[in-house]
């Protein structure tokens, strides 16, 4: 019940901590004044109606006006949110009452002294610390002014109270003022103590968070250092690989030229399918060497080629490799009736298809699967050429799928981890496409390469 009463009539609505404390004290003072005035009005009502004391009628209406004044001031503060205005009126009212007391009965009247003390405390709490100084200065001016006016015989205060003995009413009045001062100080100091405890808890939590943040920063810095070190090691290995490749391609091209001459000599004497296949392989190797040399020199070789023909050619070249692995390459060509001429680096495209199909063949190494096919699928949609290579081998675990396109990461004992990295690099950088993989132990692995047609594709209708 008290919680409901507090929430409805007392609890401040301000979000600012300082204003919250001031509003709380103000609400208690105004509500207390309303309650006390209502009690006084009820007593006067009893005397007027039940006891028929007609002399109390003036007091009854006077107290009623005061009660309406407190209610109005409370509404201004509570409903209109004019806390500062209500505080100024309240402090000013008590200041005026203190001035009246000292003017009427002299500056030594105890009630006046206590009232001025109450005004100074209320000004500091309800309006701000500096207003205590303003209230003290105003009090000093009033007291000095009144004493100066009395010395000049401009007025004479009634000091008869000093000659009469104190009564119980004086003690009650003084106790009420003391209680009011104590209540105001307690309410405000209580809020200050609560704010201080919250500040200490926040400081402790902030310190704990700061310590955790420092630990996290150190851990993150260490992770970044390790990642940078790993990248530097990769760059070094790439640089070393590039240096070795340059020398290798130079020597390899000389040997290829010699072998080509020998094969041409054999063809002149005896032509066979084996020699023709050897010559195609040699031309393909020569194209790869030339492409790599151009790539090292920063050059690109763009030409128009038939996608179906290149895929069929790669399947024929790798047919013997597949046969050794007891596997079969199957081309599911959906473009045979509507061939697609693609403009790009044909050697890079062959490299892409060759690596994918070779990976599919190697997926059967050391296995006894009955279905040992590598299926190559070709299709197009409105915007893309879609190449799929499917095997039914051991599959790739989800953890490995996240790393297979990273350089020097391999799932094979004899692999160096560069094949799929090159595949992705060629797909993305040379053709502006994308590559995706779906794999599990039951169905095998499907690589899907999507190459956009918009950049350099020319469609030819059959």
Q: How far is CA 267 from CA 140, 258, 279, 283, 287, in A?
A: 126, 14, 10, 15, 21
> Does residue 456 carry a pLDDT above 80?
no
Write down the pLDDT at residue 291: 58
Q: Summarize pLDDT for 240-275 with one digit per residue, the tens.
A: 555 445 545 544 544 454 455 555 555 555 556 656
Q: What percent of the chain has pLDDT over 90?
A: 9
Q: Summarize pLDDT for 103-112 with one digit per residue, the tens.
A: 988 888 888 8
Instruction: Report residue 52: phi and psi, to 5°.
Output: 55, 45
Q: Summarize pLDDT for 303-323 with one digit per residue, the tens.
A: 888 888 888 888 887 887 788
**Comparing C-alpha atoms, which of 348, 372, 287, 354 is closest to residue 314?**
354
**Comparing C-alpha atoms, which of 88, 87, 38 is closest to residue 67?**
38
Write down the pLDDT at residue 253: 47
Write down the pLDDT at residue 245: 57
Full set of structural domains in the chain with CATH: 2-208 (no CATH), 303-459 (3.30.565.10)
| Mean pLDDT calculated for residue range 214-224 | 85
Q: Summarize pLDDT for 362-398 with one digit per residue, the tens.
A: 888 767 666 788 999 888 888 888 999 999 888 888 8
Residue with tokens 């790539």: 295
Write down the pLDDT at residue 459: 41
* CA terminus-to-terminus distance, the chain: 89
Q: Is the dihedral of CA 324, 325, 326, 329 positive or negative?
A: negative
**Comparing C-alpha atoms, which of 50, 33, 130, 11 is closest to residue 90?**
33
Q: What is the DSSP letter of 165?
A: P
Strand partners, 329: 374
**Between 327 and 235, where is the model more confident?**
327
Distance between CA atoms of residues 340 and 460, nearest Å: 6
Q: What is the mean pLDDT of the chain?
A: 78
């Amino acid at each position: 019940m008290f919680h409901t009463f507090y929430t409805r009539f007392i609890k401040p609505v301000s979000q600012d901590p300082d204003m919250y404390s001031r509003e709380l004290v103000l609400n208690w003072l105004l509500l207390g004044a309303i309650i006390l005035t209502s009690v006084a009005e009820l007593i006067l009502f009893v005397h007027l109606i039940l006891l028929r004391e007609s002399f109390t009628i003036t007091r009854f209406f006077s107290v009623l006006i005061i009660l309406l004044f407190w209610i109005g001031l409370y509404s201004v503060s509570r409903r209109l949110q004019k806390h500062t205005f209500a505080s100024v009126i309240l402090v000013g009212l008590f200041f005026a009452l203190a001035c009246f007391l000292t003017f009427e009965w002299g500056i030594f009247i105890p009630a006046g002294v206590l009232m001025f003390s109450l005004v100074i405390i209320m000004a500091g709490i309800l309006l701000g610390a500096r207003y205590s100084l303003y209230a003290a200065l105003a009090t000093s001016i009033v007291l000095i002014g009144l004493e100066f006016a009395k010395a000049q015989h401009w007025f004479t205060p009634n000091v008869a109270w000093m000659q009469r003995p104190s009564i119980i009413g004086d003690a009650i009045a003084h106790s009420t003022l003391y209680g009011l001062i104590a209540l105001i100080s307690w309410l405000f100091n209580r809020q200050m103590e609560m704010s201080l405890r919250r500040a200490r808890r926040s400081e402790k939590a902030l310190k704990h968070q700061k310590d955790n943040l420092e630990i996290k920063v150190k851990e993150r810095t260490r992770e970044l250092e390790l990642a940078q070190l790993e990248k530097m090691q990769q760059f070094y290995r790439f640089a070393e690989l590039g240096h070795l490749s340059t020398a290798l391609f130079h020597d390899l091209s000389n040997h290829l030229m010699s072998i080509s001459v020998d094969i041409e000599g054999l063809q002149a004497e005896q032509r066979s399918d084996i020699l023709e296949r050897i010559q195609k392989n040699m031309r393909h190797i020569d194209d790869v060497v030339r492409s790599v040399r151009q790539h090292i020199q920063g050059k690109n070789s763009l030409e128009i080629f038939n996608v179906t023909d290149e895929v069929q050619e790669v399947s024929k070249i790798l047919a013997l490799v597949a046969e050794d692995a007891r596997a079969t390459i199957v081309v599911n060509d959906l473009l045979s009736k509507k061939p697609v001429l693609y403009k790009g680096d044909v050697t890079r495209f062959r490299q892409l298809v060759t690596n994918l199909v070779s990976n599919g063949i190697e997926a059967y190494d050391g296995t006894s699967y009955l279905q040992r096919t590598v299926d190559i699928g070709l299709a197009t949609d409105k915007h893309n050429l879609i190449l799929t290579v499917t095997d039914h081998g051991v599959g790739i675990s989800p953890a490995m799928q996240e790393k297979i396109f990273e350089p020097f990461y391999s799932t094979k004992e004899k692999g160096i981890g560069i094949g799929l990295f090159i595949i992705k690099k060629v797909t993305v950088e040379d053709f502006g496409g994308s590559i995706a993989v779906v794999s599990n132990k039951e169905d095998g692995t499907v690589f899907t390469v999507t190459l956009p047609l918009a950049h350099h594709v020319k469609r030819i209708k059959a």
